[in-house]
Structure 1
Amino acid sequence: MSLCAMPVILVPKKDGTWRMCTNYRTINNITIRYRNPIPRLNDLLDELHDSKLFSKIDLKIRYYQIRVRERDEWKTTFKTKFGLYEWLAMPFGLTNSPFMRLMNHFLRSLIGNREVTFLGFVVGFHGVKVDEEKVKAIQDWLTPKTVRELKKVGFKWDESQERTFQSLKEKLAQAPILALPDFSKSFELECDASSVGIGVMIVQEGHPIAYFSKNLKGSQLNYSTYDRELYALVKA
């Protein structure tokens, strides 16, 4: 017998194999949660100023490399038709699993590379730029040619639209490198507004740090020029 016996379910994986998952909701509901929030991407990038070397580490079956504390194995008990079993390594699904805390503690001193691909961005001492794989997807975007494809566009496609389309692809593929912010120095905020939208750019020593834009809707379209530019400043 066990004080804690949780059900299991098999989930199909893309390669045709199966992943065994344990439903720990019952024990999670009576567990006091640690406060270890997942950091925001923008906050992570902001912390990289003045860095020269970077690391990206992917651990295979990473949870299974951490031993469950002795005498706590019973908390991981799961039931099958063959009987009750306990995990000796850390399973997926338990609240307060210490994986992220351990990684933040042990891996912070590792020496890395001049740049790494991180969450869709290439991060290095030069700053932040878009991953080339994403740029290639834009460059390979084909002009609509069939009647069905043209119907999806919703407007007439002639030479003018084709030039604009190719120009947009070129601009997107040549997106500027964003500098890493230095919070010991001042920032410049550049705002602009048109009749249909607003745009903002944060600059430091002439280098772009971040961009923001937004369409105007409803009553916002009736704002005066001063109000639209003030609205851009507020949203920034």
Structure 2
Amino acid sequence: LDRDEWKDSAVAYQDDVGLWTDGGLKDHIDKFVKLAQSFKQAGLTFAAKKCHLAYKELSMYGYIVGKNGLQVDTKCTTLIEQWQRPICVRDVRSFLGVMNYYRRFVKDFSKIAKPLTELTKKDVGFRWSDEQDKSFQTLKTLLAENVMLKAPNWQDAKNGVRPYQMYVDMYDISLGVVLEQADENGRLRPITFESRKLNAHELHYTVTEKECLSIVYGCNVCERYVGVMTFDIWVEHQALEWLFHKAQLKGCLMQYVENLLMMVEIEGTKMQDLEAIKHYLTNFEWPAHVTNESLPRLRRKLKIYCLIGGQLFRRAAKGKPP
């Protein structure tokens, strides 16, 4: 498939192709015919028995994919609910392998699964206690709830109509991230749950350092959704405010500032100014809406911004927050 031609209506994965449309049945059929013609020209054929046309949702690779979002296939949740208690390390690895495939549906997966992952380490004997059993049962229960992950609305997020909401948290042993967006009724719905364990070095971080680390982790792991859009970050600790107002930063905290250069909430006039500066750096002329009164301010700001790979970055003085 030509990625540019089909990027908004089709995707190929291994030997399967998914096609979606939102313009009605005629539009759906027209695009399918066009897709079939592309395959014919390439000397490829469809297996008629495997073609499913005009469905509101489809089961693919253990998921139910539909207009409203993504869910775990109920056949899979049923099998996992019936999973027998592991009696050896191999059983634990098998269970965790399946659960890892669906980990984005489980909030704080790394924290909950830790008693089980510890059993898979080298030179650790198999010992099943209440702690492991609780972890095992909790993971099965949470997946059985079959949370639907919302399909992100890129346009609404970009326009600020329904911006992404990122909730980050840290625990003694792990980091957790929830990315949400409001639906048409204004109700916040999850897009993904992300988490990871802290490594041996990170376990000794201070509370502030761990909270800063969770923010950086959240931005990195959710980059495919948020890109460089404006979005809200919610943290229990005042890590972000402290980070950007501390006079001198060293070590990992300085690295966090560098990673968070673009992570400042921008509203109103500030956003308009940035759009104008980006337009100037791209086209070497100011956009039509820029007034004579705003030009001096924009020219001053122009000195501290640069364009890299089509994205706008703010220059930061060494050792100082942006």
Q: TM-score, normalised by structure 2?
A: 0.38
Select the structure of larger CA radius of gyration: 1
Q: Which has the higher contact order (CA 8 A, sep 6+)?
A: 1
Greater helix fraction, Structure 1 or Structure 2: 2
Q: TM-score, normalised by structure 1?
A: 0.50
